[in-house]
């Protein structure tokens, strides 16, 4: 059956961050996703995760000013040194957290530059990240982001994301396949899973519209989860949504899959 993780950056916000690992375990999750753990010492995060018995299954490479409305680091010419520093920071955290998946957010091309220029910068940075993290057995992932929530994002379709991976040309690259973003931009969730499964290193999900829990919107999650199971996907499937009320009450979808 699918292995579900829970994103402790967007969810379990009812408790302090370092308490979310135990809370995730209490709810039946064996793994956690973290977007940006860097506000907390890596040793503190790793200690709490291990004490709770949950695996940290992915983190994001620091993305600069992307989260505050800027262009980020990975696709912006002139910010290569900052991106390399970000990769080294992610590497240090991965070692402490025993994490084997990192996500590189491509960012937005600045208005004065062409998409082609920024794509070339991005693939070069991606190749650097893959080479740097390969000795640690880390898979570097790239995520398609919808242009409604993040206008101007460099990679807005799965096809564009896979093309960037191919251009970077490393063996430890994969797709972070987010069902929420895919539904907004492309739909065809199950055909997309079937087509790109060999490239997918992690799956995330939220319903749409609203980015809330399964059952709040238009996606038929029982069918999608059954398809993930049928396809034999072996990776993690990460809940990454904003609960309408609180995290525990949003988990009706999880009960058929909850670990003993």
Half-sphere exposure for 154 (CA within 13 Å, toward CB): 32
User: Is 39 an active-site residue?
Assistant: no
Q: Could you tell me which of 130, 51, 99, 87 has the C-alpha nearest to residue 238?
A: 99
Structure tokens, 151? 């206008």
Q: How many CB atoms lie within 10 A of CB 176?
A: 28
- Rounded to 10 deg, the angle between the 115-133 and 80-97 helix axes is 30
Token output for 218:
């238009």
Whether residue 80 lies in the annotated active site:
no
Q: How far is it, in rounded angstroms, from Cα 85 to Cα 63? A: 11
DSSP assignment of 30-43 equals: SEEE-S--TTS-HH
**Which residue out of 143, 159, 186, 218 is catalytically annotated?**
143
Preceding peptide of 209 cis, ω within 30°: yes
d(CA 235, CA 58): 11
Catalytic residue among 39, 98, 159, 240: 240
Would you please indicate which residues are annotated as catalytic (active-site) residues? 143, 240
């Amino acid at each position: 059956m699918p292995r579900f993780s829970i994103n402790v950056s967007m969810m379990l916000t009812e408790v302090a961050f370092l308490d979310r690992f135990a809370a995730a375990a209490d709810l039946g999750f064996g793994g956690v996703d973290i977007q940006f753990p860097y506000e907390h010492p890596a040793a503190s995060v790793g200690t709490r995760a291990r004490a709770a018995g949950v695996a940290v299954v992915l983190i994001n490479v620091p993305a600069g000013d992307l989260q505050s409305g800027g262009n980020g680091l990975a696709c912006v010419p002139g910010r290569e040194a900052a991106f390399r520093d970000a990769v080294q920071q992610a590497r240090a955290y991965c070692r402490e957290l025993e994490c084997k998946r990192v996500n590189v957010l491509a960012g937005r091309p600045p208005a004065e530059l062409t998409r082609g220029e920024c794509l070339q910068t991005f693939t070069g940075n991606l190749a650097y990240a893959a080479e740097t993290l390969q000795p640690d057995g880390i898979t570097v992932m790239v995520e398609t982001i919808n242009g409604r929530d993040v206008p101007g994002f460099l990679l807005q379709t799965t096809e564009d994301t896979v093309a960037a991976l191919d251009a970077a040309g490393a063996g430890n690259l994969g797709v972070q396949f987010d069902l929420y973003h895919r539904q907004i931009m492309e739909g065809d969730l199950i055909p997309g899973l079937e087509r790109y499964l060999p490239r997918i290193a992690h799956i995330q999900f939220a319903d749409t519209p609203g980015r809330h829990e399964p059952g709040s919107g238009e996606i038929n999650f029982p069918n999608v989860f059954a398809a993930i199971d049928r396809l034999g996907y072996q990776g993690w499937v990460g809940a990454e949504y904003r609960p309408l009320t609180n995290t525990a009450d949003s988990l009706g979808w999880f009960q058929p899959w909850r670990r003993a």
